[in-house]
Structure 1
């Protein structure tokens, strides 16, 4: 693959000759004016593909949650086993974030994302064919391994396809595929189970993955290869700080440039910034997983919602969260265009979002269900406001373009450790307090504050990490 030379100024070099990203400060973005007109927005079509991939990803992982009541009768799965079946996914999903990120940097987004989608789609179909708990758990763990590429792949694609000034909004768009896929799962899977059988639900949802795979393989190309990318749009992308590979796709960990040996992905753990990204996302995702797992039970047990009101009012925080995510992306990019430094923009959005999400703790003193639902909606939207910038951090701080997906995988690994631990910790706290949600909600609020402090003080500057 031949790489067209980048626009001058796209990458700066350190004293050692190592390629660095754009410097941090006002005026750093030297992109030409945004191209306008038909056929000059190919990059947003790439985001639409990533959005579709993540929507299918979350649809497939959510199918089990919706179909489990019907499955448990046929397969004789008791309540104590159901929790393990659900959590088995996160074991392989979290662990495989690390090799998935490294593989994306080594072999490219198109190939690895497609392989991951084929893997998780086959695993979803397999869950419709299981005959016992053992094979179900095995299929669920295979699903987690395949879906591990679902987060770092779009982050890598956006880093290559978008200038800095549009990157956050683009990341918020594909990230909302997670919420849309989860929302679609409830009516779609319920309808299939009611009309046919729970096995049909897994088969149908798994086959939908192959529809997306065909679209991805046909329409995704790297910027240097895309047949419909105009010279004007390419100049806009490159000149705005897109993280282009300095050489042809290959093993970034082993390439050399200017005599400096590039970092291996595991060397990224040496940096304080990386640990700050991990801890901050851990705290943020701990609270998000309250909404994904225990939130419906909270409304029923603590606020007295029935099934009908749960189905209607329970969707409100998720819908508000989508608006929060898009607002976070738009706000960050707007501030960048106004000349704010990357550090100031990221810290403003991350700290304000995680700090505002701590209002989840105030629900313990609100007497009405409406007031509690309003606070929970604000909390969830604040979290997604911050996630738009979280998804942009790997591209902002990667020491080279060949480390973006590796950093995204490391960051998401930490967040999914929280995803696995959070529901379990909440369950133990509920059991210890006789079913009261006071302590679990206070813990979530406290972790929101810890996340804000992490982004404020552990991460010092948001800029490409120096090669050590």
Structure 2
């Protein structure tokens, strides 16, 4: 059995004086890309009522249009992760951003239900490489002791993009109409793609990375192709599904997203129908859980990095962050039974924040467990593929049970229990957090 290159490193070493800090500029650029990515996908939720009037869409058609994105986005995850590992982060993120920006702008030209379905399906396919690419960028550019905060930064782009979509899209629609909205947002994505193509290189090829920073990144366990174990790099993609750790990551991430997708879909409806929020109150107070989620994601990453620098084993750090966060997400059960609206909002904010706290650990795992740098995005795509089934199933389950029972108590209790099951999965199913061992027969 071959021994893969370890992702671990001396835990307490800080970046040397004089080292460049290009890695932080790169991760903030990835954050901007994820923000635009989610702004593009979320904008239709705000624009759809106006689109429905112009092209005559009923509620059933609108629901199918919203779901269309997730079908293509989810089923492209497996190929997306493999593709990112094959062509690298520079090319994959640029091509993806150009693709999704073009189909965002094409949305401005739709004139029927079916043309809009087609645009959303192709948009979903184009956006699918973004998370796996960001995970690969983090693995390539950051030592293990800084990987948590870096993950929290890029992952928070999804929350920021969803939060800012409401005021930005509303403002553009007010002054210029919904068709102009998609053109403007699409142009923004193309501009980012140009910036990424010009700015990004791997750290060992980047002109703005000095020798001190490169040595710090490498010695800290960054997953750079030149440092890969030759046998581990040859492990076939399909073999990843034979590892208990990978299967546990798939199931656990599904559990996390089963709760998160409530906030992406039915959260506004819950506040209006169950807690009697007016449109004004919804617009103001409805942003609070999202803001808490962004800050909590950064906090989770910072705490994880601080613990690793102090010498706490990576397995203990990752599992503590993930298990505590998912257990905290289960307080969504209490949110539906407290008597006051402010209590419910506080508990929902705590639940969402806890889930993003866990998310920083979950998205750090592909870099921690990949047998080589050539498998980081593949594992990220695999776990994201499983997780996004929740985007298909959760809205259906919540909507059906809310209709059948006349309230959100039962469906939110169920997803709260799923969060607890996910916590137990990460605690007991997933073993030591380290690069997966590669038997010689697997690559021979």
> For this structure pair, what is the TM-score category when the shorter chain's length is used for normalisation?
over 0.9
After superposition, residues 95-244 of structure 1 pair within 5 angstroms as 95-244=75-224
Asked if 1:263 is matched to 2:235, the reply is yes
After superposition, give the CA deviation of every residue in 1:238-285 in whole Å (9 maximum; x if it has no partner): 01000111379xxxxxxx925x77211121110110111011110101
Tell whether the 8 Å contact from 1:335 to 1:345 is kept in structure 2 after alignment. Answer: yes
SS in 2 for 1:128: helix
Determine which of 293, 298, 313 is the counterpart of 2:285: 313
Asked if 1:293 is matched to 2:235, the reply is no
SS in 2 for 1:303: coil
Tell whether the 8 Å contact from 1:158 to 1:170 is kept in structure 2 after alignment. Answer: yes
Q: Segments of 4+ in structure 1 off by > 6 A? A: none
After superposition, give the CA deviation of every residue in 1:408-452 in whole Å (9 maximum; x if it has no partner): 000111111111211111111111112x01101101110110110
Tell whether the 8 Å contact from 1:60 to 1:205 is kept in structure 2 after alignment. Answer: yes
- State the alpha-carbon separation in 2 of the partners of residues 80 and 467 from structure 1: 49
SS in 2 for 1:193: helix
Asked if 1:447 is matched to 2:385, the reply is no
The residue that corresponds to 2:16 in the other structure is 35
- State the alpha-carbon separation in 1 of the partners of residues 391 and 123 from structure 2: 16
After superposition, give the CA deviation of every residue in 1:47-84 in whole Å (9 maximum; x if it has no partner): 01100110110010011111101000010000011000
1:32 to partner: Cα distance: 4.9
Tell whether the 8 Å contact from 2:289 to 2:353 is kept in structure 1 after alignment. Answer: yes
After superposition, give the CA deviation of every residue in 1:92-143 in whole Å (9 maximum; x if it has no partner): 1001111111011111110011111111001101110111111100010000
- Cα RMSD between the aligned structures? 1.5
1:31 to partner: Cα distance: 7.5
Higher helix share: 2
Asked if 1:389 is matched to 2:367, the reply is no
1:189 to partner: Cα distance: 1.1
Tell whether the 8 Å contact from 1:55 to 1:177 is kept in structure 2 after alignment. Answer: yes
1:188 to partner: Cα distance: 1.3
Determine which of 339, 353, 375 is the counterpart of 1:403: 375
1:323 to partner: Cα distance: 1.2
The residue that corresponds to 1:19 in the other structure is 4
- Gaps in structure 1 of 5+ consecutive residues: 1-14, 249-255
Determine which of 430, 436, 441 is the counterpart of 1:465: 436
Tell whether the 8 Å contact from 1:31 to 1:237 is kept in structure 2 after alignment. Answer: no
Q: Please, what TM-score do these two structures have when normalized by structure 2?
A: 0.96
- State the alpha-carbon separation in 2 of the partners of residues 22 and 145 from structure 1: 31
SS in 1 for 2:326: helix
1:460 to partner: Cα distance: 1.3
SS in 1 for 2:225: coil
Rate the CA distance shift 1:240–1:73 in 2: closer, same or farther, 3 A.
same
Q: Please, what TM-score do these two structures have when normalized by structure 1?
A: 0.91
After superposition, give the CA deviation of every residue in 1:145-202 in whole Å (9 maximum; x if it has no partner): 0000110001001101000000010010011111111122111111111111111011
- State the alpha-carbon separation in 1 of the partners of residues 306 and 227 from structure 2: 31
Rate the CA distance shift 1:320–1:33 in 2: closer, same or farther, 3 A.
closer
Asked if 1:355 is matched to 2:332, the reply is no
Tell whether the 8 Å contact from 2:50 to 2:178 is kept in structure 1 after alignment. Answer: yes
- State the alpha-carbon separation in 2 of the partners of residues 20 and 126 from structure 1: 45
1:210 to partner: Cα distance: 0.7
- State the alpha-carbon separation in 2 of the partners of residues 184 and 212 from structure 1: 17
User: How many correspondences in the alignment?
Assistant: 439
Tell whether the 8 Å contact from 1:350 to 1:386 is kept in structure 2 after alignment. Answer: yes
- State the alpha-carbon separation in 1 of the partners of residues 101 and 261 from structure 2: 24
The residue that corresponds to 1:253 in the other structure is none
Tell whether the 8 Å contact from 1:116 to 1:146 is kept in structure 2 after alignment. Answer: yes
After superposition, residues 334-373 of structure 1 pair within 5 angstroms as 334-373=306-345
Tell whether the 8 Å contact from 1:31 to 1:236 is kept in structure 2 after alignment. Answer: no
- State the alpha-carbon separation in 1 of the partners of residues 317 and 334 from structure 2: 28
The residue that corresponds to 1:329 in the other structure is 301
SS in 2 for 1:467: coil
Tell whether the 8 Å contact from 1:103 to 1:112 is kept in structure 2 after alignment. Answer: yes
1:344 to partner: Cα distance: 0.5
The residue that corresponds to 1:71 in the other structure is 51
The residue that corresponds to 1:424 in the other structure is 396
1:36 to partner: Cα distance: 4.0
- Gaps in structure 2 of 5+ consecutive residues: 440-444
Asked if 1:438 is matched to 2:438, the reply is no
1:365 to partner: Cα distance: 2.2
1:30 to partner: Cα distance: 6.1
